[in-house]
A and B are shown apart, each in its own frame.
Chain A
């Protein structure tokens, strides 16, 4: 006889029947069930298979520590490939199935592996599969490994993230947490209370006790209601999964409902003034031979299933324990009508045992379960002496369907440890307890080693007061704890050769720990990594302490000396979508749009992303290819006039009395002698002397400059200026302001440009005398404030007209109406390539120095130091074979060698590479720009080009293909 539902009791709603699928069958549960409790109520025993030996596995626990019941759950379009059945709230539409077992979870062909277990000890795969190579075996082993099957469908749900600051964050809403929140709320400070379960109360929901003369569960409900009324933020079904620096915690809330299209998981990033940890404790298994069969359960879980879900997991139960807590389970089972025998390793179990005996429980002192039997679930258990050292020891075989075990309690110190706190082994408590903490928190209840209800309440109350400064409140009271008989540490049964499981999911046994000890994997971290102990999806919640204790015993060390592994986030697995939260798509990486974005769309522009900006690549006409559009636009600029949206070009204003001196320390070029109203082309270097950015700098006034960094480097340049100002020149009076988004900037250029400029009715003198090339002036155009600069990136006479961004679309329309051809980035790239103007990040990379670009003039002229100066004269900086910027004329004038093509020498060593290439409509042939080793000395030579095996030839030339004298700038 296995699990059944009782006719009454429990916190389930028998009025709400919930049908659900389990594999091929339809079962029924009630509202208030978890998937695990509903499966148990339906008598389901085998829910999975172990990872390595494919042994049958049943539900072991009732909470987050469950190692076995990992199942596939679908609810509508939601899917969890590795759901923990004990955490899945039963609801309509659940389709659950086992993730392991072929053809079925109860009849698994791979169970044959178990017969070979002696040849597959811990880490066996490190010792074989080497010939001919691992790749011969890997695919099959990968197929055997893994848990659930992930869905291949994109998940389009949106995830919400909340960032919040709170005075007091209480983690855990059991007795200690509720008492703490209650005390803290009385202080008037902002308080948040979180618990991983859907109902607050923790163990109060299934354990005996009265608080302030009320049943404990009632007190929990009433206190929760009070807290809600006081404005405490209550987050049930929320896992505090990570405790980071500065009292920052990550919480993952699993909401019951969400708006359509939105995920239930919601991340809370909480920064708390004070944290109260009331995370409780988890029962750890008592380890005995064949303790992995379905039907072997945590004694506390058996009690919880009975009380909270009214599920009697079996009518004949053997309990094996080393402490008093399992007697509550024994008594409750007996009262529910079960036959119960208790094997207690202690020879004098004391009052709890006497009370149980009085109820009709059979207690066998000084004994332990020494074996179990039953193919797909426990059918019998042998009870023998606790100090048995051989299978021949006198045992008594008891028929039973459940073996409930309790090896003591493991405080949930995970968050404390994550926060940087040190743990200490407390021999009396037989547990790792918090030692020295590192952050601003209070510890309370079970996680701090407190066991009785009365003390949990008191410690929670104290923690709440300490965290909030509240005073005017009496602590909740419970009856004092009965005198307990101390736990007797008991780590495994000393019967040689018996298989005793420590990690149920990963199949790690006591023998495996013995092997690790023999092979010198004695550090707990080596133990974990070599045997995989504690590396399953439960992260060792039930196996960690037992494994460490076994290693300690086998190596003759104490547990304190053996130590514990480091606890890492997350406390329990959390959804990746939830973690990323709103960081998705454009909120993960925003795209910027130009002020005249809509105008470009209206023109049918081919919009592409360049350095975070959406910009027109070109404006193809109907039935026009991109290449044809680029040729048409480039030709029009040279022959007539062009219009270009340059609004994304950076604009950083630099002002202050030390602006000139500061910029002179930063820039490669002298900017101090620049006259107001004039522009200069400048380079910004990194410390290594390499070109970080180029651009035009304008002096607006004696104490005011305007920088125009490359579109994609504006943020980087600003950060660099700030870094140098703050860390190297803090005494200088200078400030920076990125005004890029404040302006719309359009470039008008070409032979007909003056006619177009005349249409602007500019209140600015546009004559060459007043506004020569590389000058700028402020004023008005078309009645709005404007700035006009003479600067060219095409080689044509050019005017850059800037107006406040809001006027951008209107100015664009006005200019367009004058008939220039709009041209995009790709067309500009052809035009600037014809002139040999570099594009930072395309023609240069992080290795390019100014001299490589034939721009060493400013260095000779500049007397003061600047960033990167020292590196320009290192042996590397003056090597003769540095790559230099040159032009290439492919031998085949119709072949455009791809960017990234290398030039090679006779021995196929790389001489450098092509950085830009295009078909030039102006020159009427293909052209390229390249960085070639010793390039300037090679001008006139023919070099071989290499692109993925394809070879061609090109002639090296100066990097200018059109108007070398620059006459058109002034034409």
Chain B
């Protein structure tokens, strides 16, 4: 069923009784050509591209809970491709380009709002690092602009420009094509698209082990029984280490809780996404009017999907330091997701150390913006057994070769 304004009219006149399920609830098969473990945005996108780009007919996505319920439904919805290294820029910009066509391709409004992502500089040293980054991005074909303090003030007058500000604003840089998208809708859109192409989306299916034939993985053990597969992949942010351990290998990943929160809804007050490296803070206003914001990780590794109060306070404080008018507002909801962080803050996409299994993990705090490309590259790997040119630099082997793509270093963080 195609969605459109016309369809809304038609169905509205018929009492909205004619709408079809956004995705089917299929009968679970005992064997598939390809199984993606993890029904988040990345896993659903992989299944969609397996069917659409690679023509696979028998594909299943297995989800322990409800689709889109992990980090897909917990992030702060920012999309951008303002990365330092050519490898990252190429990958994230491909994701952004897929995002730009996604609503129409999937006939589902993911509400991509290219309102710009503004990064702030608080010292002259920050400005120097930003100049370096902006030049790198321009040379990599990413469209960004360096702004001085006055230009920043014109764009976001609510920022703290007081001379006594703890973090004075020296300038910043903006990627106009960056912005936000409706995170749940991305998962649902891919689910609907995949389901229409015959992908089986199985919710409430807990993968408890991997089936092996010799050293090769040939399927999964689940709460709904054994399922065999020609090829398997895991796309389980927050649990990658756990799933890897089941398969008998370790990943160079540490998992942390990352908190996010929203204010009560307000009339439009902030029109761009604002980020600050000095405080780690990022904030945007959702279309519904809530300020959506977050900052640094909780300090200790954890698998518990909840944050602690002191880190929550620090996140709020980080935002208020930059937006003193927001101190009057109220926090409506606070939550946490578990992020899988690699040493170099770049993801792992590629074959697992075990035959028959492919990995898509380690996106750290930035997986949402990469949803389309994570799915695209994982599908390519599963269908062809070969790296796509974009995923090759992110192979697990880089931790042996030393060929890291250290975006934290690139951004001038924590070196």
Q: Which residues of A contact B (CB under 8 A)?
A: 78-82, 118-121, 124-131, 133-135, 138, 141-143, 145-157, 159, 161, 242, 244-245, 248, 250, 267, 269, 418, 420, 497, 511, 515, 518-521, 523, 525-526, 529-530, 532, 537, 539, 568-570, 573-577, 579-581, 583-586, 588-589, 608-610, 686-690, 692, 841-842, 844-847, 871, 874-877, 898-902, 904, 908-910, 913, 946-949
Digit string of B93-128 for contact with A (CB within 8 Å is 1, else 0)?
Answer: 000000000011001110111100000000111001
Q: A248-B309, A577-B328 are in contact. Are A900 and B131 (CB under 8 A)?
A: yes
Stretch at the interface among B41-49, B264-272, B379-387: B264-272
Q: Which 5 A-B pairs have the closest CB atoms?
A: A846-B409, A900-B131, A146-B289, A846-B415, A874-B402
Question: Which of A82, A584, A913 has a CB less than 8 Å from the CB of B321?
Answer: A584
In residues 189-215 of chain B, which contact A (Cβ within 8 Å)? 189, 203
* Complex CA distance for A245 and B344, rounded to whole angstroms: 30
Residues of A within 8 A of B308 (CB): 244-245, 248
* Complex CA distance for A420 and B306, rounded to whole angstroms: 9
Residues of A within 8 A of B182 (CB): 126
Question: Which of B132, B268, B314, B415 has a CB less than 8 Å from the CB of A899?
Answer: B132
Number of B positions contacting A (CB below 8 A): 117
Residues of B within 8 A of A568 (CB): 333-335
**Once the chains bind, are A242 and B326 in contact (CB under 8 Å)?**
no
Residues of B within 8 A of A515 (CB): 16, 19
* Complex CA distance for A577 and B8, rounded to whole angstroms: 43
**Once the chains bind, are B327 and A155 in contact (CB under 8 Å)?**
yes
Max chain A CB contacts within 10 Å: which of B158, B263, B289? B289
Question: Which of A576, A900, A908 has a CB less than 8 Å from the CB of B331?
Answer: A576
* Complex CA distance for A282 and B314, rounded to whole angstroms: 32
Residues of B within 8 A of A569 (CB): 312, 333-334
**Once the chains bind, are A150 and B19 in contact (CB under 8 Å)?**
no
Q: Is B412 an interface residue (CB 8 A)?
A: yes
* Complex CA distance for A121 and B12, rounded to whole angstroms: 8
**Once the chains bind, are B402 and A876 in contact (CB under 8 Å)?**
yes
Residues of B within 8 A of A902 (CB): 132, 135-136, 139
**Once the chains bind, are B325 and A151 in contact (CB under 8 Å)?**
yes
Residues of B within 8 A of A901 (CB): 131, 135
State how many angstroms separate the Cβ of B189 from the closest Cβ of chain A. 8
* Complex CA distance for A577 and B108, rounded to whole angstroms: 38
* Complex CA distance for A81 and B410, rounded to whole angstroms: 41
**Once the chains bind, are A128 and B162 in contact (CB under 8 Å)?**
no
**Once the chains bind, are B268 and A900 in contact (CB under 8 Å)?**
no
* Complex CA distance for A532 and B332, rounded to whole angstroms: 14
Q: Is B244 an interface residue (CB 8 A)?
A: no
Stretch at the interface among B20-28, B227-235, B351-359, B362-370: B20-28
**Once the chains bind, are A525 and B66 in contact (CB under 8 Å)?**
yes
* Complex CA distance for A134 and B179, rounded to whole angstroms: 12
* Complex CA distance for A877 and B401, rounded to whole angstroms: 8
Nearest chain-A residue to B307 (Cβ)? A244
**Once the chains bind, are B21 and A147 in contact (CB under 8 Å)?**
no
* Complex CA distance for A576 and B334, rounded to whole angstroms: 12
18 pairs, CB–CB < 8 Å, chain A vs chain B: A129-B111, A130-B103, A131-B104, A145-B289, A152-B269, A244-B306, A518-B17, A520-B22, A523-B69, A526-B68, A537-B332, A574-B331, A575-B329, A576-B320, A576-B326, A583-B314, A585-B164, A841-B412
**Once the chains bind, are B109 and A130 in contact (CB under 8 Å)?**
yes
* Complex CA distance for A689 and B162, rounded to whole angstroms: 42
Nearest chain-B residue to A249 (Cβ)? B309
Max chain A CB contacts within 10 Å: which of B3, B4, B5, B128? B128
Nearest chain-B residue to A242 (Cβ)? B309
Residues of A within 8 A of B246 (CB): none
Q: A142-B287, A576-B326, A947-B131 are in contact. Are A871 and B402 (CB under 8 A)?
A: yes
Nearest chain-B residue to A713 (Cβ)? B415
Residues of B within 8 A of A575 (CB): 327-331
* Complex CA distance for A545 and B208, rounded to whole angstroms: 32
* Complex CA distance for A780 and B198, rounded to whole angstroms: 84
User: Apart from A525-B66, A526-B68, A875-B401, what are 17 other A-B pairs with CB-CB below 8 Å?
Assistant: A119-B9, A126-B185, A131-B104, A143-B268, A148-B266, A149-B267, A520-B22, A575-B327, A583-B317, A584-B317, A584-B320, A874-B400, A900-B130, A902-B132, A910-B136, A946-B139, A948-B146
State how many angstroms separate the Cβ of B100 from the closest Cβ of chain A. 9
Residues of A within 8 A of B138 (CB): 946, 948-949
Residues of A within 8 A of B129 (CB): 900
**Once the chains bind, are A81 and B328 in contact (CB under 8 Å)?**
yes
**Once the chains bind, are A125 and B109 in contact (CB under 8 Å)?**
yes
**Once the chains bind, are A79 and B328 in contact (CB under 8 Å)?**
yes
**Once the chains bind, are A900 and B135 in contact (CB under 8 Å)?**
yes
Residues of A within 8 A of B78 (CB): none
Residues of A within 8 A of B157 (CB): 152
Q: A573-B332, A576-B329, A584-B317 are in contact. Are A900 and B109 (CB under 8 A)?
A: no
Residues of A within 8 A of B68 (CB): 526
